[in-house]
Amino acid sequence: MTAIDGATRRQFLKEAGAATVLVGTSFDAASYARIAGANERFVLGLVGCGGRGQDLMKHFAQQGAVFTVVCDPDETRLRQARAATEGSAETAKDFRRVLESREVDAVVVATPDHWHALPTILACDAGKDVYVEKPLAYSVAEGRAMVEAARRTGRIVQIGTQQRAGEHYRRAVEMIQQGGLGKITRARVWNVWNNTLRIGGGRWGGIGDPPDSDPPFGVDYDLWLGPAPKRPFNPNRFHWNYVYYWDYAGGMITGWGVHHIDIVHWALGQDAPLAVAVSGGKYVLTDSRETPDTLDAFFDYPGFTLQASFYHANARLIEGRDYGVAFYGTNGTMLLTREGYEVWPEGDKRQAVKNDGSPQDGPFQKEFIENCKNHRKPFADVETGHKSSVPVLLANIAYKTGRKLKWDASGEHFVDDPQAGAFLQREYRKPWHL
């Protein structure tokens, strides 16, 4: 991967603008006038109009933000996103259209993982702040490049770890940091599903093994692939199920694990493992996914261990929940989820505690807007997001190499393991480059 100097970057953006494919129309004066206080608006551009992207549109709109341009290689999703703006937003297949807009204050990146880095970096270079979904990046090298872009340009970049905005998460973390659970020697995070129960994807369904086919009408598949390797179109490798294919993501440990590990880092004051080992495999599912159906990652941190469990072939609950974060201390155990937290004491060392959940989305998007307006470093800053994403990326490398890996966080490299180090970045498919 090669760097882009200033002149090359300007030419890249100029050429990108000329190649932009528009599939909608610009908003008209009447729709613009319907927006109160237009001159004081906080204007967003959306890159990635799938389920999470459209969900974010609702949360940002509730905070008074306005989307004036939405981008996605799939025309169907573009139409859905534009409808959410009452037809006022401009639509484009190419994300670089957002970078051209002088009125866009910030870019929301809600693409598949392999498309997080370039829109974020180029948005920073174009003078836009960025809200980017998790995991921060497809690879460790991409994540570091995103951090450096934010710092080089002085832009606000906030990762979508919205649990940090939940008041009950903050109270739980405060209890841990004040010693309420005693000395914590281990933590565990997990998601447990059973994809053998039916076909259809999602939480309970396998994804089957459909044949390759032509892309759906209105989909720019080459643009959807972007920097990922060229592959024949397959419906399983597209949209939500992309998470199960190494070209675009890393399974549910990257899809959900960053949220959970981010909370462990926050609560325990450590943000980098010393080593990681993984056990697991694709033991039972016969569909075309590439990622394992059973995986346990074990991380060594200074003073504690972390187990990350992602099971897709058995849905037996852990600590009574199908997902969560658990902290095990000398004075008690805490189970923490989006719905609340509960503490079970060890002996008579403390009282049992139970606390309900609190909103996360909504307050989190409000924080982003305020951070941008006040040029304030986010609580879920790009660097924090990078450090919360690195462990899950390392776990997948440990899975692929089949051995325990020692990690040097200061230099972001493996200790004496160049073979594993080759997985820290990948060659981009031309013409894309980082």
* Residue 245 shares a structural domain with residue 312: yes
The DSSP 8-state label assigned to residue 113 in this structure reads G
264 occurs within a structural domain: yes
Determine phi and psi for 229, rounding to 5 degrees.
-60, 150
434 in a structural domain: no
Question: 170-207 pLDDT, tens per residue?
Answer: 999 999 999 999 999 999 999 999 999 877 666 667 89
How does residue 30 score in pLDDT terms, banded at 50, 70 and 90? Answer: very low
pLDDT tens sequence across 38-81: 447 899 999 999 999 999 999 999 999 999 999 999 999 999 99
117 shares its domain with 255? no
Domain that residue 292 falls in: 166-358+389-416
Give dist(CA 325, CA 355) in Å, integer. 15
193 and 336 housed in the same domain: yes
Tell me the average pLDDT across 221-241.
96
Confidence check: pLDDT of 13 > 80: no
Residues in the chain: 434
End-to-end CA distance of the chain: 6
| 372: CATH | 3.40.50.720
Query: 286 and 408, same structural domain?
Result: yes
344-364, pLDDT tens digit by residue? 999 886 778 999 999 999 999
> Of the candidates 381, 421, 373, which has an alpha carbon nearest to the alpha carbon of residue 43?
373
Q: Give dist(CA 205, CA 198) in Å, integer.
A: 5
- The beta strands (E) that lie in 140-225 are given as 157-159, 184-192, 198-199, 205-206
Q: Is the pTM of this model over 0.95?
A: no
DSSP-based three-state secondary structure for 381: strand
pLDDT digits 0-9 by tens, 388-416: 999 999 999 999 999 999 999 999 999 99
Q: Please name which of 389, 179, 382, 363 lies closest in space to residue 265, comparing C-alpha atoms.
A: 389
User: How much is the average pLDDT of 322-341?
Assistant: 97
Q: Are residues 148 and 191 in the same domain?
A: no
Can you tell me the distance from the alpha carbon of 306 to that of 186, in angstroms, rounded to the nearest whole number? 6
Is pLDDT of 222 > 50? yes
pLDDT at residue 26 tops 80: no
* Domain assignment present for 421: no
* 425 lies in some domain: no
Q: How many domains does the chain have?
A: 2
Share of the chain above pLDDT 90, in %: 86
Angle between helices 117-125 and 140-153 (to 10 degrees): 10
The CA distance from 379 to 384, in Å, is: 8
Contact 329, 181 (CB under 8 A): yes
pLDDT tier, 6 (very low <50, low <70, confident <90, very high otherwise): very low
Higher pLDDT, 22 or 378: 378
At 204, give phi and psi (nearest 5°): -115, -5
What are the distances in angstroms from CA 207 to CA 76, 112, 292?
22, 18, 13
CATH code of the domain in which 300 resides:
3.30.360.10
Q: Are residues 205 and 307 in the same domain?
A: yes
What mean pLDDT, rounded, does the chain reach? 91
- Mapped onto helix, strand or coil, the DSSP state of residue 350 is coil
- Res 203: pLDDT: 67
* 175 and 121 both lie in a single domain: no
Residue 410 domain-assigned?
A: yes
Is the domain of 215 the same as that of 314?
yes
The answer to whether residues 139 and 193 belong to one domain is no
Tokens of 398: 């440990």
**Pair 231, 131 in one domain:** no
Q: Is residue 307 in a domain? A: yes
In a domain, 422, yes or no: no
pLDDT at residue 22 tops 50? no
Q: Give tens-digit pLDDT for 91-137.
A: 999 999 999 999 999 999 999 999 999 999 999 999 999 999 999 99
> Does the pLDDT value for residue 261 go beyond 50?
yes
Examine residue 114 and state whether it is found in any structural domain, yes or no. yes
- What's the one-letter identity of residue 399? Y
Does one domain contain both 75 and 127? yes
Mean pLDDT computed over 226-246: 96
Clarify whether residues 240 and 378 are in a common domain. Answer: no
